[in-house]
Structure 1
């Protein structure tokens, strides 16, 4: 598999000096295209900060981050926004749907930013909703759907533009066990279809469902292993 993500000696330091906090403390890792990865840790471990770096939502204090061979660690905000739109599909714990838009319109949003016309983006949005089993809910607004259905819309939105990376931040955190199982099955199917899926989680049961686990503590990687056999740590 080709290399997708290459993070080299990354630091994120808040309040530099005597009272500094190292949210990331010399993190290095590589993720190839087509991997199914969980980044796991307790609150304060650095996993959310690492997610922000991978998702180009923030830049490191120092270190390099190559995404598809481009060093995005030193990019300006406008360039980072373009990378996010082209390279990354986000799935958030809180769904982040627009309340006054129906499901298909929510899924269309990243396609609008890519400049697609109304007809092609509507077609793609409907296809994406079909993939997650919500084609019959296309005209429903978030308030008319369950939490699990809203998360399916969020997944459809994330995959609509076919980004190389699906980045899911605690995607089952607000869901019951049955719905969690359904969402994990969808993410597993996306991986099986060739997507790179990275899940940020605190849940060991979620981590057991992926191929590779990267465990953080105090801003450092303490374990990096394939389920069934350790790589490092």
Structure 2
């Protein structure tokens, strides 16, 4: 297997008033193509900051991050935007659906930003919603769906453009147990299809479903 993601001594500092907060402290990880990795830790452990760095949403204060051999620190904002658009699908705890758009319109939205033509994006969106079992809910608004169904729309939105990497930040955090299991089953199926899944979670039971766990505490990798 190939190393898809490599971090070398990645640090991230924030200045809060007179205090310097160390969010990431000398983080070294390798994630191979096709892995399902859970990054585990309590609130404030640095796991979400690490996800932001891995997703090219934020840059390290020091250290280096390589994605598919590309040194992310040397890339322009436009290049980083292109990487996020083509390489990475994001799933968040809060769903982040647009309330006045239907399921299929929510899934289509990032495809519009990617410049996908209308006929193609409609088909890609239908396929993604079918993939997560919502082919009967294409024209439902978020308010007409359960939390679990809304998260499945969010997953469909993340996979519609068929990115090779899925970053999921606490995707089961707002769901009941059954809906959480359903979401994890979808992520496991996506991994079997070859997607690299990086899951951020504080739930050790959920984390054990991944192939490998990376434990964080106080900005450091501890396991």
Return the TM-score normalized by structure 1.
0.92
Q: Which residue of 2 aligns with 1:6?
A: 6
Q: Give the drift of 1:105.
A: 1.0
Structure 1 unpaired stretches of 5+: 224-233
Q: Which residue of 2 aligns with 1:184?
A: 184
Distance 2:109 2:56 in 1: 19
Find out whether 1:46 has 2:46 as its counterpart: yes
Matches within 5 A, 1:108-127: 108-127=108-127
Q: CA RMSD in A?
A: 1.4
- Deviations 1:14-66 (Å, cap 9, x if unpaired)? 12997322110000111011000100101111101101101111100011111
Determine helix, strand or coil for the equivalent of 1:37: strand
User: Is 1:4–1:31's contact at 8 Å kept on the other side of the alignment?
Assistant: yes
Q: Which residue of 2 aligns with 1:79?
A: 79
User: Is 1:59–1:74's contact at 8 Å kept on the other side of the alignment?
Assistant: no
Find out whether 1:20 has 2:12 as its counterpart: no
- Deviations 1:177-230 (Å, cap 9, x if unpaired)? 11111111111111111111110000000111110000001111000xxxxxxx
Find out whether 1:160 has 2:160 as its counterpart: yes
User: Which is worse superposed, 71-80 or 194-203?
Assistant: 71-80
User: Is 1:214–1:221's contact at 8 Å kept on the other side of the alignment?
Assistant: yes
- Deviations 1:50-99 (Å, cap 9, x if unpaired)? 01101111100011111111111243433322211111100000001111
Distance 1:30 1:186 in 2: 24
Determine helix, strand or coil for the equivalent of 1:174: coil
Matches within 5 A, 1:201-220: 201-220=201-220
Q: Which residue of 1 aligns with 2:62?
A: 62
User: Which is worse superposed, 73-82 or 142-151?
Assistant: 73-82
Find out whether 1:88 has 2:84 as its counterpart: no
Return the TM-score normalized by structure 2.
0.96
Q: Which residue of 1 aligns with 2:170?
A: 170
Distance 1:127 1:104 in 2: 10
